[in-house]
Amino acid sequence: MTQEPAPCDLLVGADLILTLDAKGTILHDGAIAVRDRAIVDLGPATEIAQRWRAAESLPGKGRIAMAGLVNVHNHTPLMITRGMIEDIGFAPMYTPGIPQGHWLTEEDAYALSRLGMYELLRAGCTTVVDFYRYPSALARAAAELGLRAVIAGRVHDAEPGALATGKHTYSRSIGEASLRENAELIARWNGHDEGRIRCDWAPHAPDTCSDDLLREVKKLADAHGGNIHTHLSQLPAEITAVKERTGLTPPQLMDKLGLLNDRLIAAHCIHMDRADIELCGKSRMTVAHAPIGNAKGGRIAPIMELKEAGARIALCTDTFSGDMIEAMRWAISMQRINRQGNVLDARTVLDWGTREGAEAIGLGDKVGSLEVGKRADIVLLDSRSPTLAPMVDGYGVLVHSASGRDVDTVIVDGRVVLADGRLTLADGDAIVAEAQSRANALWQRAGRQPIA
């Protein structure tokens, strides 16, 4: 007696499935069955079709399926500085002559965050860590567009206007306001939509947070759980300010205050001596590696040294791009330049942008690879694209040749949120137009007339 196919919500086909699991499983002419937001089966398409009856099916001809990309450090409203900051400075918070974060209204942050998250989805990113001012606006944007997101505020007590002029002036009221904003975010958004939106704490950096504020963040984060997100050893000015204030390097200060551990995700980690590298490696912290932004500022982080010392490496695009595949290429190139050798390969950086990132943010059991029981976060690429041929091992051409433009369809939590390159839950054209309008006003305030 033939068993009747079981019902499922979605059946996703593909000529090739790169599961990105620990074994490197690859399936030809495969299919993925999705029910209740999770992957319930995957295997040869003919067998999956016999076992499952789908409410909706996505045909596999001309498509490559892979796990959604995990981007562990972003500030989506800062897309407003893109194309300008690269020729003016490095980190927007420290750079004069640009729209500063404290100029933004909550609706500005929301509109710009929607732009940034739209771009992330277009390039196959299904999970993003995002923190900035007005974090509830970021959570709202992620919730509406369908991304999986870890959101946090921008906690600091350094006066942002003074930072752009090279001065570190601390204000208790600014610190209390940023703590309150992050706490309100957690109360409102943590666990939204069955956990698709999660919230954490994010002290901006050791130089923009006083010791007292960092101690308070540790206390609050310990009670909350999850990760702590920050910038670490990003700029020479940060090193100088922390040493002048405490006599310690930024990693030493974080260690002294109990923040340097396996829950810490720290972006950049550029300006470190051997002792700092060893300290960070011993802590088992995660480096949110931002190769594009680092290189555009003329800097290369000692990523291989940090990895060899014991730190976990995950990948991010930060402010400069939403394309994680581009970031993978830059990561390989910059480390080969730094070490003068073939020290990184495609599969390693692909892991940094999927499984390693998911594990770092505590979602390794849910996303980062295509496996039964995990959430259905799936990216479909157009296998007919010339940048994806010739396909040999699957990994090399994807990392070294493809781009986010090859992404056709994105599924998050079993729901199609991008189809044929277009958002399904929002009007992408309207998002771009609104962000441009708000950017025009903010750049005019900064003394520049946009051409758009």
Which of residues 360, 378, 410 is at a domain's end? 360
When pLDDT is cut at 50, 70 and 90, the band that residue 284 belongs to is very high
Do the domain assignments include residue 450?
Answer: no
- For residues 62 and 73, state if they share a domain: no
Do the domain assignments include residue 174?
Answer: yes
DSSP three-state, residue 97: coil
The Cα-based distances of 149 to 12, 140, 300 in angstroms read: 23, 10, 27
When pLDDT is cut at 50, 70 and 90, the band that residue 2 belongs to is low
Residue 32 has pLDDT above 80, yes or no: yes
When pLDDT is cut at 50, 70 and 90, the band that residue 164 belongs to is confident
Domains held by the chain: number? 2
Type of residue numbered 37: R
- CATH number for 33: 2.30.40.10
- For residues 280 and 395, state if they share a domain: no
Do the domain assignments include residue 76?
Answer: yes
Q: What is the pLDDT of residues 51-91, one digit of tens each?
A: 999 999 999 999 999 999 999 999 999 989 888 888 887 78
- CATH number for 77: 3.20.20.140
The number of C-alpha atoms within 13 Å of 365 and in the hemisphere containing its C-beta is 2
* Parent domain of 242: 69-360
Do the domain assignments include residue 222?
Answer: yes
- For residues 350 and 212, state if they share a domain: yes
Lookup: tokens for 311: 């730190």
- For residues 153 and 209, state if they share a domain: yes
- For residues 296 and 392, state if they share a domain: no
- Phi-psi bin for 437: left (phi > 0), alpha (psi -120 to 50), beta? alpha
When pLDDT is cut at 50, 70 and 90, the band that residue 262 belongs to is very high
pTM (2 d.p.): 0.96
If residue 338 lies in a helix (H) or strand (E), which one and from where to where?
helix 324-339
Residue 1 has pLDDT above 60, yes or no: no
pLDDT at 220: 98
Type of residue numbered 277: I
Do the domain assignments include residue 444?
Answer: no
Alpha-carbon distance of 351 to 312, in angstroms, equals: 11
- For residues 63 and 73, state if they share a domain: no
Q: Which of 348, 361, 41 is nearest to 198 (CA)?
A: 361
Do the domain assignments include residue 342?
Answer: yes
Residue 18 has pLDDT above 80, yes or no: yes
Residue identified by tokens 């003074």 is 162
Q: Quick check: 435 and 79 in contact, CB under 8 A?
A: yes
Alpha-carbon distance of 239 to 408, in angstroms, equals: 43
- For residues 43 and 115, state if they share a domain: no
- For residues 74 and 178, state if they share a domain: yes
Q: What is the pLDDT of residues 142-162, one digit of tens each?
A: 999 999 999 999 999 999 889
Do the domain assignments include residue 154?
Answer: yes
If residue 107 lies in a helix (H) or strand (E), which one and from where to where?
helix 106-122
Q: Quick check: 224 and 218 in contact, CB under 8 A?
A: no
Which residues have a Cβ under 8 Å from the Cβ of 3 and sit 6 or more positions away? none
Residue 176 has pLDDT above 80, yes or no: yes
- For residues 319 and 353, state if they share a domain: yes
Alpha-carbon distance of 239 to 375, in angstroms, equals: 41
Alpha-carbon distance of 175 to 210, in angstroms, equals: 9
- For residues 48 and 190, state if they share a domain: no
- For residues 278 and 352, state if they share a domain: yes
- For residues 379 and 305, state if they share a domain: no
Do the domain assignments include residue 436?
Answer: no
